[in-house]
Chain A
């Protein structure tokens, strides 16, 4: 890869950090988050929400509302301040460390992506002159330069989400389990699959493993994501096709082309007008009898409560404002099932179990 540094190989399918010290630091952050952030979250959120209720402060997706919530916590619930500080500081720390570590080998990775662009199996199509819409200028989850802002965004996303997911991030375990949950069309016929907003193609590749005879496509607005997705698929010797396409901009793909379209945690990361256009595109691209499989936050209407992901009150305020999730509150407050039905889909099944198992399975009527 780069003559200055010894080849440390991979961690599962992901290139290792440049130095062992970076890997040790990130393992520490992962465990620190489990101990101080994930473990106490339920109790801390309940206390914070009780204090907010007592103070008559309610979360609305505005800067003023979020600052009012921080003010109540500063005054009344120091442990909720600890939780938020751990969340924010560790989130920044792991993205910074991943970015700095990979950047030491930047030229080598850029060459690797250039080489992979020209190789198979599978393919990647992207546009170096693409103008990203303004809504993508978010450093989602605090990832440095976001999903679209750096040629190595896909690579950073890969290692960063390993830290974020902890054990579930090892060897694409989460995406393997998701692929196993995907429901095929009722007639069982699958010739072509599209994984919409596929990021680095983890679910896309697992779909290819599950449906090896199908032609499998992954689309994403981010060139760095689809380029790295293609590289990752090559490394796994999987014949998958990736294209740089926004979910709201799939007009040049033929209608009725796909039997199954999947979309995993896109909808809470984009504004609602994009959600609506993505749903309309999925409807157009599916053949009659085709299936749209969605996994994302539960939507709870205008008064989010304690069901599902508990994405309301203190968690929603801190996560949206301080973990750069600006679009999640609007999504949670909408009714996505209604939006799907309005577009023509027939809801076959849904589960409220939790975010990553929250499958909504819709069929395009025959």
Chain B
């Protein structure tokens, strides 16, 4: 038997592992809560995208006196705009979703520090 054939035989088990195929998990007693929570999160993103566009539109009107779809699409924000935009976005998320967890679920530490500790976190 070639090494390739041996390997195929050795790996026959993988198709049965959880996660090998797409799953459709349910995390709440009522599956409608799974769907609604997803819908709310996605709607939040679409709402934010519109709010962001409005910020760009107002900025362009204030600084250039005119606006076109291409000007909005190719707009390159400066540091001040980027920071104000990011602060507003984080605040929006906190206001909308801040009560999703029970109060005792404080952010005392996370298992994703390797993800979150980027250049900003390291100063």
Residues of A within 8 A of B (CB): 5-9, 19-22, 24-25, 27-29, 31-32, 34-45, 47, 61-63, 65-66, 70, 73-75, 78-82, 84-86, 88-90, 93, 133-135, 137-139, 164-171, 173-174, 248, 271, 273-274, 277, 309-310, 315, 317-318, 320-327, 354-357
Contacts and interface: CB of A to CB of B under 8 A. Distances in A.
A135 B74 contact: no
A8 B73 contact: yes
Interface string B7-19: 1101100111111
Given A173-B118, A320-B18, A355-B114, A35 B41 contact: no
Number of contact residues on B: which range applies?
Answer: 35 or more
A31 B18 contact: no
A90 to B, nearest CB: 7
Majority SS at the chain A contact face: helix
Interface string B93-123: 1100100111011111111111111111100
Nearest to A325: B19
Given A6-B73, A80-B27, A85-B28, 9 more contacts: A24-B53, A31-B90, A38-B116, A43-B105, A43-B107, A167-B118, A168-B114, A322-B25, A324-B22
A93 B118 CA distance: 22
19 contacts: A9-B74, A20-B52, A20-B75, A24-B53, A28-B44, A35-B94, A39-B110, A40-B107, A62-B16, A70-B26, A139-B22, A167-B120, A170-B118, A173-B118, A271-B14, A321-B18, A323-B19, A326-B20, A354-B113
The list of the 4 closest CB pairs from A to B, nearest first, reads A167-B118, A321-B18, A81-B27, A168-B118
Nearest to A5: B73
B59 interface: no
B29 interface: yes
Contact of A32 (B28, B93, B101): B93
B111 A70 contact: no
A317 B23 CA distance: 12
A20 B45 contact: no
Interface of B: 7-8, 10-11, 14-20, 22-23, 25-29, 33-34, 37-38, 41-42, 44-46, 48-50, 52-53, 56, 70, 72-76, 86, 89-90, 93-94, 97, 100-102, 104-121
Contacts of A139: 22
Contacts of B72: 20
Nearest to A34: B116
Contacts of A318: 25
Contacts of A37: 112
Given A28-B48, A138-B19, A326-B20, A38 B26 contact: no
Contacts of A166: 115-116, 118
Contacts of A29: 45
Contact of B93 (A35, A78, A137, A324): A35
